[in-house]
Amino acid sequence: MTKHITFLLFMGLLNGCSSTTSAPSEIIPPVSELFSDNTFEKTPIINEQDIFTLPPKEQKKFLSYFNNEKTKGIREDKIIFNYLEQRIKLFTYDGDTLTATESLERNEGNCISLAILTQAYAKLAQVDTTFIEVGTVPIFKKNNNTILISNHFRTKLLAPRTANNSNTIEIIRAGTVVDYFPAQDSFFIDNANYDDLVAKYYANKSVDALLENNFSKGYNLLNKALQYRPYDPELINIAAVLHRRSGQKSNAIRIYEYAKGHNLTSQNLLSNYLSIAKKQNNIKLVKQLESLLDRTALTPFDKIQVAQRSAEKGRFTKAIQKLEEVIIETPYLPEPYFELARIYHSKGDIEKTDKLLALAVERASDPDKRSLFQAKRDTIPKP
């Protein structure tokens, strides 16, 4: 199962899945105009080319294999897939986001690292790629106000284009999907492209620096990510959190207002803005943001969060309705069953609670999730 881990700050930073975000139709100023530049120092950061550069020895080895396999009539995308499959057999999972060279040297990497490594070989072989971003509902592990969330990219190595034929229209281009950590309980987020992958690398490194309180480094990495995705709500969200944590609260609020005013929001961004509104006791803004969160909930994770907020307020009918909606759409996810179990447990319905927890355990492909759900079930008196 995929375990690409992106760090997040609970009610402070939620750097979730960054989908392909097109530029808005209206001309709006970049969010960087709201940044407090004087607060941060310039720091050197890795350039784009170096992220995808392979060591010369590895380049020679791969190209020799690639050209040899090509003479056998094997399709180019499949050659890369086969090479990667052999190359990363001994890879171990690690939460760091690595360059292609770092992944090879350390013989490890998370899903973004492997997407970068795949792109490096594809670039060397001049094979086109595209990407799909998928998410999983996270296990919340609080650690000094920090939680973890899972999400990753799948790479599609595209087959050579078919020969031009006036009578043929290529609707879906053939190719090979690379997903070495497939998650059974994952769901589609959005299509993505090369710029999304580059932005994701810089964004993840920015979050790493932020969590280490290295705000200048985080700031420079974030600015680099924004060069590739200037209107990405998740990057705007990181910008707001970076300013808030570095003591620039007024800038953070202006960044959130900018995002809301230009409709450049995500569930993560709105949730963080909501936490500030609650601390300010801004009842009107709280209602606006809660309404926006409900209306813009698209993914299963979003809808589960809506259900959780509803349950916290005692609105169990709405919470149950939202969770049952998730089950209809994605019956293989364990989390909606678990959340329903919590609600029915609070209502004193032990029999239904046990049945729902059993379903959650049955559907959990992640061992950590399965253990958590089973532990909760073990504490329930059997009907």
**Distance between CA atoms of 35 and 248, rounded to whole angstroms?**
9
pLDDT at position 6 is 34
Contact 112, 133 (CB under 8 A): no
- How far, rounded to the nearest angstrom, does the alpha carbon of residue 160 sit from its chain's CA centroid? 29
* Domains along the chain with CATH numbers: 5-31+40-231 (3.10.620), 297-378 (1.25.40.10)
Q: What is the DSSP letter of 148?
A: E
pLDDT at position 169 is 54
Task: Write the CB contacts of 378 (distance below 8 Å, at least 6 apart in sequence).
Answer: none
pLDDT at position 163 is 63
> Over the range 133-145, which residues count as b (16 or more CB within 10 Å of their CB) and which as e?
bbbbbbbeeeeee
pLDDT tens, position by position, for the chain (383 residues)? Answer: 333 333 334 333 433 333 345 555 568 899 999 998 889 999 999 999 999 999 999 999 999 999 999 999 999 999 999 999 998 888 887 678 999 999 999 999 888 999 999 999 999 999 999 998 887 766 543 333 433 345 678 899 999 987 655 455 556 789 999 876 666 667 788 899 999 999 999 999 999 999 899 999 999 999 999 999 999 999 999 999 999 999 999 999 999 999 999 999 988 899 899 999 999 999 999 999 999 999 999 888 889 989 999 999 999 999 999 999 999 999 999 999 999 999 999 999 999 999 999 999 999 887 888 999 999 999 988 65
Contact 130, 193 (CB under 8 A): yes
Distance of CA 292 to CAs 320, 323, 354, Å?
20, 18, 34
pLDDT at position 90 is 81
Contact 141, 171 (CB under 8 A): no
Roughly what angle, to the nearest 10 degrees, separates helices 300-312 and 267-279?
Answer: 20
Instruction: Write out the two tokens for 6.
Output: 């992106």
Tell me if residue 129 falls in helix, strand or coil.
strand
E strand or H helix at 9, and its extent?
strand 5-9
pLDDT at position 170 is 58
Instruction: Write out the two tokens for 224.
Output: 């680099």
The amino acid occupying position 237 is N
pLDDT at position 165 is 52
Backbone dihedral angles phi then psi of residue 138, each to the nearest 5 degrees: -80, 160
